Structure 1
């Protein structure tokens, strides 16, 4: 640090972004900013518009769901700023200088990229931060990209002996063959390979509906996964990078049950816009099955070379088989999201969880060494 070591740690919380998960990211950031201890941290809220413009966000824009509407970052939300990819300076640069702006945007010590989806959770901003030499919370470039792409998540997991269900990858221009249909059976889930928050996902119970589901997914990503439906319980586990070089740690488990609203699956509306879900925390599983899921969560985190944090989602069948669904390297981080709730149930309350992630990022620094 260029200033006194006694000063507060400056944390740039970056949120919004160009993905379909813009609003979810804003809500996550609102919770993170609210959890930062003002005696220890100086928060620098940096919003990214849907067009990719970076702005120093003001407190006038509530980062919360209001009346069923997600928050939005626009060019009018604050002053335009940029982060130069210059490792000799950790300063955000104001494009539209104003009185007091330089002091507000002095050297940043660490970035908390509370971004979900493309251009945030996929390795892109992680690459920028590596080039700029600024420590950041979460997985590195490779792990972020591999976890964001469900095809490669499954391939890396399978290579480590982690069970995954039957699936087919359809790249742009490819179609599902009859042999694929026979192997997968019905129902199938059709989903963009690189998206989150259940955007673009359809459950197909009849092959006559498949083409429309494929078009819906391809509107988000030209590469699409078609997964065999697995009848089972949806169980999640939070994983944290070990402190001081220790082994990754798994939280207690949570089970999600969609109980109302007529949802075919745990979709965006069920996750964020209603009261249609119930949660068992901890999940009502046998000790043996609980231990297996937690072990698989840590193994998945390690297989993808993750860092910081991850939420690993599984299907648990009636006969006790466990299948990996996906891993999120920057899961939803609102105070009511499952990742912080699982860690709170494990004894790590939300503000302490945020502080631990920042400490881990600062200790790890940047680079591959």
Structure 2
């Protein structure tokens, strides 16, 4: 019987999306096929320290405070491959004879960190540098999709419909936002000022720091909020009669790109913000949509699957556009792509691409025409990660490329 692979799932992180990432990581660990894999939780706290321990698999263990950390093992990622060819984490334990290093080997890492320092290509780059097999998007795809402006440019070049936008850089410290200058730029970009506008950070998740501006005062307020989270902010026209549609895309092991069920999130507010998406409209601390076990995160959002109000042409636009941008940016893993629509006119615009979606969008695959269970989805994501990582590996010896300069005398 083949030895089970150890799958390190890394979650948490130094990001405003830290808590959502914890839910996603716990769900992935819970959905691993126990006959094929052993899950290794790797929690990154808000200060950037890495921890492991079985207690981290329990939703009730969070938030992790100083006293709870005493029951865990702090770990460091080894950048050099060990003697048996497996990557490893190292923990340091104090004993009578001093500090003792202990290796914790694993076979593949699954990034489940949302937003900054995890979904933006930085973690993927570290894993590439250390030659560590990992799942999901490669460095380029992760970095490209994190920037909303870049994603929209790629979409336009491939005839995918997106809204016009204006980009603003965070002003220098000590300077104020000039209302007249802002409105002049709005006129220059959009041809005329037509409130309301939507304001959001250019390099964060779809629901974090998003605000609606009905006039210049609320626009400045929304910009100030967004600039606390990002150095660049994107301003877009507000879509009247707004409805949103989400779909997940991935590549089968034979290379075929497939799409999931389409969902229409149902919200109790004008915008689908963080509170509506992850707390079911409740304030932090209020009862969640589901109790017991690991919280469902975005999986508990009220939604209509395969919504009846979409006609065949609209469905084709969503499926074809999402498949095209997935292919153009050479993405991997289970990617959720979000669309905006004017329900009255039927127009549809690609909004953004989420390479590490909440819950890995498993609920969309369970409802797909060719239904895929969460257990099968995690297995596919892992096996794809092994294949992509193996494809990249090459001989790094200087003699191979005739690049040797220094030789032993």
Give your verdict on TM over 0.5. Answer: yes
Question: Which one of 30, 34, 40 corresponds to residue 36 of structure 2?
Answer: 40
TM-superposed deviation, 1:177: 3.8
| Matched residue, 1:269 | 275
| Cα pair 1:130 1:366 within 8 Å, conserved | no
Assess, with a 3 A threshold, how the Cα gap between structure 1 residues 361 and 81 changes in structure 2: closer, same or farther. Answer: same
| Matched residue, 2:249 | 239
TM-score (norm 1): 0.88
CA distance in 1, matches of 2:119, 2:317: 27
CA distance in 2, matches of 1:114, 1:189: 28
Q: Residues 25-60 of structure 1: CA distance to partner in whole angstroms, max 9, x if unpaired?
A: 111111111111222111110000101001113326
| Cα pair 2:5 2:37 within 8 Å, conserved | yes
| Matched residue, 1:297 | 322
Tell me whether 212-221 or 54-63 shows the greater mean CA deviation. 54-63
CA distance in 1, matches of 2:132, 2:389: 7
Q: Residues 215-253 of structure 1: CA distance to partner in whole angstroms, max 9, x if unpaired?
A: 100000011111111233200110012313x23111121
Tell me whether 126-135 or 196-205 shows the greater mean CA deviation. 196-205
Tell me whether 90-99 or 151-160 shows the greater mean CA deviation. 90-99
TM-superposed deviation, 1:293: 0.7
Tell me whether 80-89 or 108-117 shows the greater mean CA deviation. 80-89
CA distance in 2, matches of 1:149, 1:294: 22
Question: Which one of 200, 205, 209 corresponds to residue 196 of structure 1?
Answer: 205
Q: Residues 272-300 of structure 1: CA distance to partner in whole angstroms, max 9, x if unpaired?
A: 11268631101221122212210101111
Alignment of 1:255-334 (within 5 A): 255-258=264-267, 260=268, 263-274=269-280, 278-284=302-308, 285-317=310-342, 318-333=344-359
| Matched residue, 2:154 | 156
Gaps of 5+ in 1: none
CA distance in 1, matches of 2:169, 2:59: 36
Runs of 4+ residues deviating >6 angstroms: none
Alignment of 1:213-228 (within 5 A): 213-228=222-237
Assess, with a 3 A threshold, how the Cα gap between structure 1 residues 92 and 227 changes in structure 2: closer, same or farther. Answer: same
Assess, with a 3 A threshold, how the Cα gap between structure 1 residues 145 and 367 changes in structure 2: closer, same or farther. Answer: farther
Q: Residues 89-138 of structure 1: CA distance to partner in whole angstroms, max 9, x if unpaired?
A: 50111133689x988x5321111111101000000110111112122111
Q: Residues 328-347 of structure 1: CA distance to partner in whole angstroms, max 9, x if unpaired?
A: 0000017xxxx211100010
Assess, with a 3 A threshold, how the Cα gap between structure 1 residues 176 and 59 changes in structure 2: closer, same or farther. Answer: same
CA distance in 1, matches of 2:279, 2:214: 25
CA distance in 2, matches of 1:255, 1:311: 13
| Cα pair 2:146 2:203 within 8 Å, conserved | yes
Gaps of 5+ in 2: 172-176, 283-300, 394-409
The CA RMSD measured in Å over matched residues stands at: 2.4
Q: Matched residue of 1:236: which SS?
A: strand
Alignment of 1:162-201 (within 5 A): 162-173=160-171, 176-181=182-187, 183=192, 185-201=194-210
Assess, with a 3 A threshold, how the Cα gap between structure 1 residues 302 and 341 changes in structure 2: closer, same or farther. Answer: same
Q: Is 1:252 aligned with 2:257?
A: no
TM-superposed deviation, 1:208: 1.7
TM-superposed deviation, 1:179: 4.4
| Cα pair 1:84 1:92 within 8 Å, conserved | yes
Give aligned pairs, total. Answer: 350
CA distance in 2, matches of 1:118, 1:264: 26
TM-score (norm 2): 0.80
TM-superposed deviation, 1:304: 1.9
Of structures 1 and 2, the larger Rg is shown by 2
Q: Is 1:90 aligned with 2:81?
A: no
Question: Which one of 123, 126, 139 corresponds to residue 124 of structure 2?
Answer: 126
Q: Is 1:72 aligned with 2:63?
A: yes
Q: Is 1:351 aligned with 2:375?
A: yes
